[in-house]
Structure 1
Amino acid sequence: MQTEKVVNYIVHWLKDYATQARVNGFVIGISGGIDSAVTSTLCAKTGLDVLCIEMPIHQAESHVTRAQEHIKQLKEKFDTVSDTRSDLTPVFEAFKNEVFFDGDQATVDMALANTRARLRMTTLYYYAGLYKLLVAGTGNKVEDFGVGFYTKYGDGGVDLSPIADLVKSEVYELGDFLKVPESIMNAAPSDGLFGDARSDEDQIGASYPELEWAMKMDEAGKRAEDFTGREQIAFNIYKRFNTANKHKMIPIPICEIPSNLL
């Protein structure tokens, strides 16, 4: 990958899109992970306003520390970067008091994890409306179009996606070029939706290098029986997530009424 040229291309794309939309810049949630670090840096390089928002909900301390380190670094490098912090823990707890819990614990935990992401989306759009900004998405290609590892109308609810055509390894290449803090570069990827330090790999059952490989094999028309051992396991994991999360990756279905009924 021609890293510097890719960076310049994305920055130009971001600035052109924002100019055409007649907005002041971008708002982005900072999680302490590589995707939000790279995306926010790319946004900052446009020279437009960038509002970085921390939105902790019972957040693991390591995530908070990395997020604050990155924001501090960005503000030192770019005059147009500002930040704010919205502690959504009380909002989340108030929500839990107003709903009932039904089903097994794993189902309840997942529903609440997705609720966290949707509360954050609502917060981002509040500030986007307040300051005339676009919500910048942080999803990469494997998450957005491979395994669908994001929350529908949560972190999937954005105005534009600068890094969604890059797989995770390519995002890390950009992170290294952009001098993202080492603490973020070395941290295990995590969605931070469960209030602990569990990684994406813990939840999915496969690493991002494995998922990237499986995505390429799937696009090449390969099937599970073409592989053995760990490769077959990783491929099956990819296919299971890809199939189950297809509803996130395709347009919302519309019931088209036949003309003779109208």
Structure 2
Amino acid sequence: MQTEKVVKYIVDWLKSYLETSHQKGFVIGISGGIDSAVTSTLCAMTGYPLLNLEMPIHQEKNQAERAKKHIEWLKSNFSSPVNSIEVELTNTFDSIVNTFPKTESSNQVNLALANTRSRLRMTSLYYFAGINNYLVAGTGNKVEDFGVGFYTKYGDGGVDLSPIADLLKSEVYEIASFLGINTDIQKAKPTDGLFGDDRSDEDQLGASYDELEWAMQQKEEGKITDDFSEREKEVFDVYSRLNRINQHKMVPIPVCEIPKELMK
């Protein structure tokens, strides 16, 4: 990858999209992870205003610390308006949970509540986007958005534009190194931070991003699984299953098209 040229291309694309949309800047949720760090930096490089939102919900301390450190790095490295707001959503989330009917704890309930966190943050992002005439910048990468569907529909998947969605996770790390993103962010294990603990993306997915990138390439090239090692078969199965069950996130919402003869 021609990293410097790719960075310039994305920054120019962001500027062009913003100008065409007649909006004034960008708003982004900062999690302390690599994807939001890279995306926010690319937005700051446009020279347009950038609002960074911290939206803790029972957040792990190290995640919050990385987010704050990155925001301070942005403010000290860019002359364009870089602002930040912390919106503490823990009480709001707890209030929503207490409103729901009580049920026995299960994986389905935990996942539903994790997605609720993400959707609550999306609502907050669009509030600040609305009052400032900003665009919500998405932070999903190619493996998450188009490979395994590892995001929340109408949560972190609810954005106005996706600057890094055509980049593999390894390519995001390349850009992070090129941009000088804080090393503690580059070295941190990827996590969506939606469960209030330190579980990683790999813990949830059953494979690392490097493995999923490999599987994505094999599937695109139509490789035969008979040639795979035992672990490669496991990873390929993980990727194929997630790609299949999450298609509802990656394809347009189905519309019931009424036959014209029924409308006469």
Percentage of matched positions with identical amino acids = 61
Q: Do residues 36 (structure 1) and 64 (structure 2) align? A: no
Q: 1:26 maps to what in 2?
A: 26
1:39-50 to structure 2, matched below 5 A, reads 39-50=39-50
Q: C-alpha displacement at 1:77, in angstroms?
A: 1.1
- RMSD of aligned alpha carbons: 0.9
Q: C-alpha displacement at 1:223, in angstroms?
A: 4.5
Q: Do residues 158 (structure 1) and 159 (structure 2) align? A: yes
**Number of positions where the alignment pairs a residue of Structure 1 with one of Structure 2:** 262
CA distance in 1, matches of 2:104, 2:158: 27
Q: 2:180 maps to what in 1?
A: 179
CA contact (8 A) 1:224 1:236 kept: no
Q: C-alpha displacement at 1:227, in angstroms?
A: 1.7
Where do 4+ consecutive residues of structure 1 move more than 3 Å? 101-104, 223-226
CA distance in 2, matches of 1:61, 1:101: 28
Q: 2:93 maps to what in 1?
A: 92
Q: 2:3 maps to what in 1?
A: 3
1:120-199 to structure 2, matched below 5 A, reads 120-199=121-200
Report SS of the residue matched to 1:53: strand
Long gaps (5+) in structure 2? none
Q: Comparing 223-232 with 140-149, which one deviates more in the overlay?
A: 223-232
CA contact (8 A) 1:101 1:108 kept: no
1:170 maps to amino acid: E
Q: C-alpha displacement at 1:105, in angstroms?
A: 1.2
TM-score normalized by the length of structure 2? 0.98
CA distance in 1, matches of 2:259, 2:148: 34
CA distance in 1, matches of 2:242, 2:216: 11
CA distance in 2, matches of 1:56, 1:157: 18
Q: C-alpha displacement at 1:222, in angstroms?
A: 2.5
CA distance in 1, matches of 2:254, 2:23: 30
Q: C-alpha displacement at 1:191, in angstroms?
A: 0.2
Q: C-alpha displacement at 1:224, in angstroms?
A: 3.5
CA distance in 2, matches of 1:116, 1:20: 32
1:54 maps to amino acid: E
1:78-117 to structure 2, matched below 5 A, reads 78-79=78-79, 80-102=81-103, 105-117=106-118
TM-score normalized by the length of structure 1? 0.98
CA distance in 1, matches of 2:35, 2:11: 15
Q: C-alpha displacement at 1:102, in angstroms?
A: 3.8
Q: 2:120 maps to what in 1?
A: 119
1:172 maps to amino acid: Y
Q: 1:215 maps to what in 2?
A: 216
CA contact (8 A) 1:32 1:67 kept: yes
2:178 maps to amino acid: F
2:201 maps to amino acid: D
Q: Deviations over 1:90-124 (max 9, x none)?
A: 10000011111446511110000000000000000
1:231-246 to structure 2, matched below 5 A, reads 231-246=232-247
Q: Do residues 52 (structure 1) and 49 (structure 2) align? A: no
Q: 2:12 maps to what in 1?
A: 12
Q: Comparing 52-61 with 75-84, which one deviates more in the overlay?
A: 75-84
Q: 1:74 maps to what in 2?
A: 74
Q: C-alpha displacement at 1:35, in angstroms?
A: 0.1
1:84 maps to amino acid: I
Report SS of the residue matched to 2:53: strand
CA distance in 1, matches of 2:224, 2:257: 34
Long gaps (5+) in structure 1? none
CA contact (8 A) 1:138 1:162 kept: yes
CA distance in 1, matches of 2:160, 2:204: 27
Q: C-alpha displacement at 1:225, in angstroms?
A: 3.5
2:134 maps to amino acid: L
